[in-house]
Chain A
Amino acid sequence: MDSTSTTPAPPSPLQEFWAYFQENRGAVAGLYIIVAITVVAVFAHIVAPYSPTEQFRDHLLQPPAWQEGGSWQFVLGTDAVGRDMLSRIIYGARFSLFIGGVVVSISLVVGISLGLLAGFVRGPVETVIMRLMDIILAFPSLLLALVMVALLGPGLVNAMIAIALVLQPHFVRLTRAQVINERSRDYVIASRIAGAGPLRLMFITVLPNCMAPLIVQSTMSFSTAILDAAALGFLGMGAQPPTPEWGTMLAEAREFILSAWWVVSFPGIAILITVLSFNLMGDGLRDALDPKLKRS
């Protein structure tokens, strides 16, 4: 690289993206919080003071350290069977990020495949796929997930499958719309004339140009997945006790709502902060990736 040349090299797409993304302070804050939560989740076994299921029978419902009766041994207090709240919330981050990651991966893979198929093949295949998506969207998402989990049996894995199913119509619709938009462009036609097969056209020529809205949708779906999984846990249909999943913890804490505020408050704050940072980042990604909003 010749750094003395008079015309600077154009920024790489990644640099350009980062420049736009950085302008949105909220998005950057969201990103930092997500990184922090991820680090805590990965190293939960080192960061957390205790095991999330260890019961300290002498310290039932002990308030947080700064309140009278609390001690620095249990910074955020203990729950009804004497488990350390802080440790449970730290381990809970693992579950929430895992749920979000798995759900978004499933929805992305299935959604992109069906969307590409619908957008490229058109005709009856498209009609069938899109009508199927309409059927899923006719049900309120949480209700459909709830019924599916009831069918499959309560538990974390089934909850993730159910949430992935109710979220993926959005990915299908988005991919299809993008594909239909792109497929008549000159570069796609040129590629086709040059002899590219249908799979190459779908995945190598067209798909990379459809990614921007899909990335934004993935971020937003990540937060929806965390919220819905917590809601299912709260209704007793998601992760089962004693799993330190935040929604499940809230369900267990419900009866102490008037006597022990800390068991009710902290898991909810954890959910709110995590979901909020993903939504903040999603907003920033949309601004940075959407060429229509870019100020040139």
Chain B
Amino acid sequence: MFRFLIYKLALLIPTFLGVTVVAFGFIRMIPGDPIELLAGERGIDPARHHELMIQFGYDLPIWQQYLTFLGRLLQGDLGTSIITRQSVVDEFFTLFPATVELSLCAILVALLVGLPAGIIAGVKRGSMFDHFVMGGALVGYSMPIFWSGLLLIMLFSGILGWTPVSGRISAMFFFEPVTGFMLIDSLLSGEEGAFKSAASHLILPTVMLSTIPLAVIARQTRSAILEVLGEDYIRTARAKGLTPLRVIGVHALRNALIPVVTTIGLQIGVLLAGAILTETIFSWPGIGKWMVHSISRRDYPAVQGGLLMIAAIVMMVNLLVDLLYGLINPRIRHTE
């Protein structure tokens, strides 16, 4: 297991260096030098420009600039936002819990609905339920979620008036964030109705964001179950006279879930991409909306920092999934 970990980490380092080159190169590829970018429309006189170029090290050769960038990065410094003049890392971590809360809720819904649906569809192959689940999964998988999100607002906020349209909690409530998770913070605040307000703000974004992971998980679980049900050990378990529930629940499921774990891990990228759209539609103050804003406001240090942080998170989660996969599937662990 330890060797497996080392091997995976060794693969990760060059990829991460590549990601830093992409993020570093991105800001250099924009026409105009960084000082002009900082000065913006106002412009800057040449003497001051020259002075600042030297001050920020932009007169150095490009590889030295990259090494400086990398050195700062290792100390957790991603520069400052042009617009807010705040540290990019601070901004990122202030907004990150909102995205995590939303993503966790979405993946939880996807699992709670997708796993049982996929299992039952697989076991009852060819039944009405199977057709229904697979049809639904195909529609979900093909859904432009930025459109279904608008429809949700139209129906539940517009016509029925059940849910709020945007934000994380009603403006009536104010309390200091403790965990950054609104559901938990609202409970801790002890204010009456705060939790209900936070939960009602969370419902529609969660439904929208969980659409695609839910569809993918249901499809993957069904095909994994179908594959496993044909195995000899299932026939053996049946021949032993075990109850169907035990055969499915213990013998089939334990093996079928192995490939599903990888699928769940791969959904992190899907979730973060979906968060960009979901947060934009519901004005959810997380990193997805922040990235879109930074891009449209041409806040390049923020875009660069966000890109790097998000890639790092995706890579970390993929590593964890790989390790988990190795842990539950000995065949993988011993092949490398």
Contact = CB atoms under 8 A, between A and B. Distances in A.
A250 interface: yes
B144 A271 contact: yes
Interface stretch (A8-16, A34-42, A144-152): A144-152
Contacts of A234: 146, 277
B214 to A, nearest CB: 15
Interface stretch (B83-91, B237-245, B303-311): B303-311
Interface string B135-147: 0001101111011
Interface string B80-109: 000000000000000000000000000000
Interface stretch (A134-142, A179-187, A202-210): A134-142
Interface residues of B, number: 42
Interface stretch (A68-76, A78-86, A190-198, A262-270): A262-270
Interface in A192-240: 223, 227, 230-231, 234-237
A199 B204 CA distance: 54
Which of A138, A230, A254 has the most C-beta atoms of chain B within 10 angstroms of its own C-beta?
A138
B18 A131 contact: yes
Interface in A260-291: 261, 264-265, 267-268, 271-272, 275-276, 279-280, 283
Interface residues of A, number: 41
A131 B15 contact: yes
Interface stretch (B34-42, B49-57, B150-158): B150-158
Given A138-B315, A139-B314, A275-B144, A268 B150 contact: yes
B139 A276 contact: yes
Nearest to B315: A138
B142 A279 contact: yes
B14 interface: yes
B217 interface: no
Which of B14, B26, B139, B144 has the most C-beta atoms of chain A within 10 angstroms of its own C-beta?
B144
A283 B142 CA distance: 12
B273 A272 contact: no
28 contacts: A26-B138, A132-B18, A135-B15, A135-B22, A138-B15, A138-B16, A139-B314, A140-B270, A141-B269, A142-B273, A143-B307, A143-B310, A144-B307, A146-B276, A147-B303, A151-B29, A227-B142, A227-B144, A235-B276, A235-B277, A235-B280, A237-B295, A250-B144, A250-B147, A264-B150, A265-B151, A272-B144, A283-B138
Name the 6 nearest CB pairs between A and B, nearest first: A268-B147, A135-B18, A142-B273, A140-B273, A276-B142, A275-B142
Given A151-B30, A272-B142, A275-B143, 10 more contacts: A26-B138, A132-B18, A139-B307, A139-B311, A143-B272, A150-B303, A230-B144, A250-B144, A250-B150, A258-B158
